[in-house]
Structure 1
Amino acid sequence: MTVKEQILSLLDRNKGGYISGEEIAGQLSVTRSAVWKAIKSLQTDGYSIQAVTNKGYSLSPLTDILSAGAISKYLNPQGQKLRLEVYKTIPSTNEAAKILAANGEAEGKVILSEEQTAGRGRNGRPFFSPRGTGIYMSILLRPKLSAAEATLLTTSAAVAVALAIETVSGKDTQIKWVNDVFMDGKKVSGILTEASVSLENGRLDYAVLGIGINVALPADGFPDGLGGIATSVFAKSNHYDDLRCRLVAEVLNHFMEFYEHLTDRRFLSGYRQRLMSLGTPVTVMKDNQQREATAIDIDDDCRLKVRYVNGDEEYLSSGEVSIKI
């Protein structure tokens, strides 16, 4: 970590209390001048840090800005193996992770940003990513999976997000097949998995798992077209201590637990439990045609089983259909 990151980590561990510049300099083996410059840079980045003569520096307990140090303190031992990199702004965390993957970056890199200027959802649709109110992150993975098994990454991530939201907020969540997480009938999180497949053996060379969560309602609300279908975990963002950092860590903790035993499908019962479309009418969009059906089950590969009006049944994969509930 840089000196700036190390200082932020020290302040975060002592959030609300004071730590002197001399003590910081001594712990990090840097000069007092280097400490002062780093503090000023952190304040410019938006961190609420008070400087009081003869007391030192204090990070406000209401601070809710993403940082690797603040996230790491909530990670379990498995999550501690991840390498976090946080940006103030970035076009797309998925694109950044894909570039790293193509250049040989090892598994376990996590890219996060306070905002995205070109965030993407499924089918190239834009993903609204305003500063300070959401979680936008991408995890670089190199799983030993076939292309057909890639859905396990997406669906296990949906359960990880649902569990994280429930843990931090105490509220119930649902999952809309395949990978959207809902609260109170509206979308609160979207997941986009992009992968590179080896032509030699048909297995994944790498996968980038992108996760976006609306944590708080943006100051100006959601833009036209989203207000009726999107929601946030909380109504406000400025009175929740480490809210987003805790959520990030919970997502990573749950996902890495699933990932370690992915083909055992330990997440599947939680996925089925939260699936909101079973037993309901759906419209299957396939091959530029619409067919009315009823969603009746999912199999162990998270394919959706539907029964059409004429009685025919079919298992559908995420790559083949779009389901409109």
Structure 2
Amino acid sequence: MKGTKERVLQLLKHSNTILSGETIAQQLHVSRTAIWKAIRELERIGYKIEHLANGYRFIQSNLLEAEEISFEHLPVNQIFITKETQSTMKLAKIAAMDQHATPALFLAETQSGGHGRFARPFFSPPGQIYMTLLLKANQSFAELPQYTILAAVAVALAIDEVTGKNCSIKWVNDIFLDQKKVCGILSEATSDFESGQISYVTIGIGLNFCLKQTDFPIELQEKVTALFSDTEPTITRNELIQKIWQNFFELIDGLPDQSYLEYYRRKSFVLGKVVRFTQQGQDYTGKAVAISAQGELIVETADGQKILSSGEISLSQIG
């Protein structure tokens, strides 16, 4: 049974009018003092509640809430939110070792040791989106869906759908807005030594939600941005997070249909451009001409066609 604090929150959230302390107390059958204490506790947690002469009014906040994120594929009891952690990827991996029920979503307000591909550090100020989805696989590596590409499509779709903005995808795992990185995606698999099967998959997403451009470190200001860098958010983090994973599971449910690859290709700002990359210690320059059905980037170089797979190269420049 929900406590007074939770019931006060739900009442205020779903009310279209200002509610007096007396009205809330009568509806919940508790004292006015209990209502006052509940509101103080809600504000301490981070909820915004306007105090007016005739009562209280809930103000939409940027607080992460499992109840606002959950949907059919991700019930409330499978969503775990923490204030600070080293990384949500680490939380998910620990859960995998404990054979945690899946799918499970781990979120944090801030990370002390977030990282992207090739262990690159990830700038993780409070108030953004840091999350990792844990999935149970029990498949061979060759049988695994293209989780990184599916997640990139899910994020890009969500951003465009709920904000009206037009983002693009940098092969293979970054989302860009106005030619700057706004989101990074990292997928990792854990194998079972005895069976040789992939037992768990973790999909980590770091998304800059609302942060002024001048609040990024100087060395990042020309390279990265936030979804809302110069305006107030028009949506909540909860709404965007829910939409991302709704899209993701819809794509998973639609497999083996690969129409998502066409969207991924349309959103690519790498295709048709000159790229520089390193493969097996050799530097190459060429034109990105296609993305294969396996999600590989195909580049025409002076040394012939090169096929780039996730994990073996790093795009160093886009011209």
Q: TM-score, normalised by structure 1?
A: 0.85
1:14-25 aligned at under 5 Å gives the runs 14=15, 17-18=18-19, 20-22=23-25, 25=28
How many Å separate the matches in 2 of 1:309 and 1:6?
67
2:314 is matched with which residue?
A: 322
Q: Deviations over 1:251-300 (max 9, x none)?
A: 01101111223443342111111111112111121223211222111111
> What is residue 109 of structure 1 aligned with on the other side?
104
Gap regions ≥5 residues in structure 1: none
Q: Distance in 2 between matches of 1:163 and 1:140?
A: 21
SS of corresponding position for 2:159 = helix
Over 3 Å counting, the alpha-carbon distance change for 1:47 and 1:322 in structure 2 is same
Structure 1 counterpart SS, 2:115:
coil
CA offsets per residue over residues 213-232 of structure 1, 9 Å max, x none? 11122485211221111011
- Shift of the alpha carbon at 1:140? 0.8
CA–CA distance in 1 between the matches of 2:213 and 2:179?
Answer: 22
Look up the match of 2:121.
126
Whether the 8 Å contact between 1:149 and 1:301 is mirrored in structure 2 is no
Matches within 5 A, 1:40-119: 40-50=40-50, 55=55, 57-61=56-60, 63-72=61-70, 75=71, 77-80=72-75, 83-119=78-114
SS of equivalent to 2:201:
strand
Q: Is the 8 A contact 1:8 1:69 kept in 2?
A: no
What's the CA shift string for 1:122-164, capped at 9, x where partnerless? Answer: 11111111112x1111111113543245571111100111011
The answer to whether the 8 A contact 1:136-1:213 is kept is: yes
**Which residue does the alignment assign to 1:211?**
205
Q: Quick one: structure 1 residues 66 and 22, their matched pair in 2 at CA, closer, same or farther if it must change by over 3 Å?
A: same
Q: Which residue in the other structure is 2:290 paired with?
A: 297
Equivalence for 1:229: 223
| 1:123 counterpart letter in structure 2 | F
Residue 185 of structure 1 pairs with residue 188 of structure 2: no
Partner of 1:157: 151
- Give the aligned CA root-mean-square deviation in angstroms: 2.8
Deviation at 1:35, TM superposition (A): 5.7
Q: CA separation of 1:203/1:135 partners in 2, compared to 1, >3 Å: closer, same or farther?
A: same
Q: Is the 8 A contact 1:162 1:173 kept in 2?
A: yes
CA distance in 1, matches of 2:150, 2:251: 7
Q: Which amino acid aligns with 2:80?
A: E
User: Whole-Å Cα distance in 2 between the matches of residues 10 and 195 of structure 1?
Assistant: 42
Following TM superposition, by how much is the alpha carbon of 1:106 offset from its aligned partner in structure 2, in angstroms?
1.2
Per-residue CA distance 1:188-243 (angstroms, 9 max, x = gap): 10001122012344432111111111112248521122111101111257x43642
- Could you tell me how far apart the structure 2 residues matched to 1:23 and 1:101 are? 46
Q: What is the CA-CA distance between 1:172 and the residue it aligns to?
A: 0.9
8 Å CA contact retained: 2:209, 2:237: yes
- The verdict on how the C-alpha distance between 1:69 and 1:307 changes in structure 2, with shifts beyond 3 A counting, is same
What TM-score does the superposition give when structure 2 sets the normalisation length? 0.87
Cα 1:34/1:183, change in 2 over 3 Å: same
Conserved 8 A contact 1:306-1:314: yes
Change (3 A) 1:225 1:106: same
Query: In structure 2, how many angstroms separate the alpha carbons of the residues matched to 1:32 and 1:84?
Result: 33
Shift of 1:7: 4.8
Gaps of 5+ in 2: none
Q: Residues 217 and 54 of structure 1: is their aligned pair in 2 closer, same or farther, counting only changes over 3 Å?
A: closer
State the one-letter code of the partner of 1:49. Answer: I
Q: Which runs of 4+ in 1 moved over 6 A?
A: 30-34
Q: Is the 8 A contact 2:67 2:76 kept in 1?
A: no
Alignment-derived partner of residue 14 in structure 2:
13
Match of 2:242 among 249, 269, 286: 249
